Amino acid sequence: MFEFLEILSPGCGATWQDEGRPGWKRFGVPPGGWMDGSAAREANSLAGNKEDAVVLELALQGAKFRVLCPGWLALAGASMGWEPGTARRLARGEVIDLKQHDEGVYAYLAAPGGWVAPEILGSAAVSARSGLGRPLEKGDILSCREDPQRPHWSQVGQRRRRRMAYPPSVEVEVWPGPQWNDFSKEARQQFLREEWRASARSDRMGVRLEGSRLETPPAIMLSEPVLIGSVQVTGEGQPIVTMRDGPTVGGYPKIALLDQGSCSRLAQVPPGGTIRFLTR
């Protein structure tokens, strides 16, 4: 174990994440895990790690770190002032300041061998609202499993990935949800026609969307299982896309479903960005 970084500021949110903890939903435990799996795996690839190694997930902007020993660090995902899709060699005492925010929402830092993080139910993924771990705080020391100065990192540092684009407006494909036919034809057409705005109240539990009110089915629903990517429509007629830390059951009608790739794209839409849904 090698002490590598000290947190000077966690920004809008800094948590340990990995692939999550599948198999626990029947006990009411959400899967958790990284919000953008593609970006997290890219960071691990840049670091020469296994793709499921623990990464540090950062949200939006404001994170700041002090380097405790020289070594390599990889960043992928949202642009926060340090070009994503690259690995950099850092000097002892250097300060990494990710206060600038250009595009996207979630960025991932990968260190040699993966980060050392406590595991709960077989995963290091932090899901604070479920009481599984805690967000990282100022003063926390972050350690990696391998020497950050390991020699072959001189080659890793030359690797570069084509920068992922995170536009503020996206189109994603959906499947009809379990209650698709319970919505009126007009409501279904409106759902697909509307340009929905990502709310500033979105988080790891769900991406809240704002737009014209959707007419909801008149029948009262019993609670039933909710999948990641379920598009529920609240009593106020506004959709919520269930994300990694979202509830495992719910009583809102589900008009549509997104696959994991679309969930990753949606997670990177910033507050005020827009989303259109397309049928497959």
Tracing tokens 């691990």 back to the chain, one arrives at: 44
Beta strands 249-250; 224-225: pairing state: antiparallel
- Digit-coded pLDDT (tens) for 187-222: 999 999 999 999 999 999 999 999 999 999 987 788
pLDDT of res. 169:
92
What percentage of residues in the chain have a pLDDT greater than 90? 76
- 46 shares its domain with 128: yes
Rounded distance between C-alpha atoms, residue 278 and residue 261, angstroms: 14
Residue 164 lies in a domain: no
Decide which of 156, 179, 195 is a domain's last residue.
156
- 127 shares its domain with 76: yes
- 145 shares its domain with 187: no
The count of domains in the chain is 2
- 195 shares its domain with 135: no
- Digit-coded pLDDT (tens) for 85-95: 888 899 999 99
Does residue 154 carry a pLDDT above 50? no
Does residue 52 carry a pLDDT above 50? yes
Q: How confident is the model at residue 63 (pLDDT cuts 50, 70, 90)?
A: very high
- 42 shares its domain with 121: yes
What percentage of residues in the chain have a pLDDT greater than 70? 95
pLDDT of res. 84:
85
Q: How confident is the model at residue 247 (pLDDT cuts 50, 70, 90)?
A: very high
If DSSP states are collapsed to H, E and C, what string results for the chain? CEEEEEEEEECCCEEEECCCCCCCHHHCCCCCCCCCHHHHHHHHHHCCCCCCCCEEEEECCCEEEEECCCEEEEEEEEECCCCCCEEEEECCCCEEEECCCCEEEEEEEECCCCECCCCECCECCCEHHHCECCCCCCCCEEEECCCCCCCCHHHHCCCECCCCCCCCEEEEEEEECCCHHHCCHHHHHHHHHCCEEECCCCCCCEEEEECCCCCCCCCCCCCEECCCCEEEECCCCCEEEECCCCCCEECCCEEEECCHHHHHHHHCCCCCCEEEEEEC
Contact partners, residue 232, CB within 8 Å, separation at least 6: 226, 239, 240, 242, 250, 252, 253, 254, 255
Rounded to a whole number, what is the largest CA-CA distance in the chain?
A: 65
State which residues form the domain around 258.
169-279
- 201 shares its domain with 63: no
Q: How confident is the model at residue 81 (pLDDT cuts 50, 70, 90)?
A: confident
The enclosing domain of 251 has a CATH number of 2.40.100.10
- 50 shares its domain with 180: no
- 13 shares its domain with 143: yes
Residue 162 lies in a domain: no
Residue 161 lies in a domain: no
